[in-house]
Amino acid sequence: MKNLTVGLVQQSCSADREANVRASMEGIRRAADQGAELVVLQELHTGLYFCQSEDTACFDQAETIPGPSTEELGALARELGIVLVTSLFEKRAPGLYHNTAVVLEKDGSIAGIYRKMHIPDDPGYYEKFYFTPGDLGFTPIDTSVGRLGVLVCWDQWYPEAARLMAMAGADLLIYPTAIGWDPRDDQEEQQRQLQAWVTIQRSHAVANGIPVISVNRVGFESAPEETGAGAQFWGHSFVAGCQGEIIVQAGEREEVLLADLDRERSESVRRIWPFLRDRRIDAYAELTRRYRD
């Protein structure tokens, strides 16, 4: 088929894992019922965003791959005949953990995984305490609906990650995400942050000539410590086309989005905007330096 229908499940989360998974599965079913062949969930959708503080007890939430989430969601992918992108806190070995996206094929099998490469450490986002940086590189995952360039949240600020996925043949860029405002920021600052987040990801679509799917969570999650203000996750999940055009975008409430993507559009866009052709790789050696003095 020429078109690919994708579904995005934007949801709020609580401390009740079963309720969160049930909400995710309900959203997946709604998307599949409307024709979605590929469904994407947000980052760490089985629980609260625990990285607002550093607490060793949170490591108990991690799970193995294969494990409970891949079994539950794999069975649903098989039942619905869809490709599913999910996100979990991976326990790889004792004391070794990753923030990992898992792609499940239509038969419920694991098509591949991506371990988050860029790990933030900011107030309210203390991910370096929990996650070891990924070791699988920027490698697309082959599925029955195409080659998926799956990245995770903080990766979305890095054009290098998007470019490497595109150079490896990704048909789409996919970003499960958990990002929000500090409630203490004024409205103008909040809007600047939101627009920067949308703009940088649209630019990846433009620079690489491929669609971008970004799925964020919603809702206020209080900080576990009295000193924190909590996080208001801003939602606004969206799909951008190959020239950065917004195809569909959510608001700040729970929502299931559907978008139709033209599988042939990347070819036509890259013919008129041949950015990949005109790269000057002979002049880019200094990109591997941390900073130019």
Mean pLDDT of the region 44-69: 97
What does the mean pLDDT of the chain come to? 96
Band (pLDDT 50/70/90 cuts) for residue 228 is confident
| Residue 225: per-residue pLDDT | 75
Q: Which residues contact 114 (CB under 8 A, 6 or more apart)?
A: 100, 101, 103, 134, 136, 139, 141, 150, 151, 152
Q: What is the pLDDT of residues 240-253, one digit of tens each?
A: 999 999 999 999 99
Contact of 205 with 241, CB cutoff 8 Å: yes
Which one is catalytic: 37, 43, 90, 255? 43
Q: Measuring CA to CA, which residue among 78, 113, 81 is closest to residue 99?
A: 113
- For 95, the token pair is 């004391």
CA distance 95 to 79: 35
Clarify whether 2 is annotated catalytic: no
| Residue 224: per-residue pLDDT | 86
Q: What is the pLDDT of residues 125-134, one digit of tens each?
A: 999 999 999 9
Mean pLDDT of the region 218-234: 89
The CB density around residue 163, as the number of other CB atoms within 10 Å, is 17
The CB density around residue 203, as the number of other CB atoms within 10 Å, is 15
Mean pLDDT of the region 221-241: 91
Q: Report percent pLDDT > 70 for the chain.
A: 99
Mean pLDDT of the region 149-154: 98
Clarify whether 189 is annotated catalytic: no
CA distance 35 to 112: 23
CA distance 244 to 71: 35
Which one is catalytic: 37, 153, 221, 242? 153
Which one is catalytic: 13, 116, 127, 221? 116
| Residue 196: per-residue pLDDT | 98
Q: Measuring CA to CA, which residue among 208, 37, 161, 2 is closest to residue 150?
A: 161
Mean pLDDT of the region 84-112: 98
CA distance 289 to 293: 10
Evaluate if residue 227 carries a pLDDT over 80: no
Mean pLDDT of the region 51-76: 97
Mean pLDDT of the region 21-47: 98
Evaluate if residue 1 carries a pLDDT over 70: no
* Per-residue CA distances from 23 to 9, 69, 80, 137, 143 (Å): 9, 13, 16, 31, 25
| Residue 176: per-residue pLDDT | 98
Looking at per-residue pLDDT, the higher value among 1 and 148 belongs to 148
Clarify whether 153 is annotated catalytic: yes
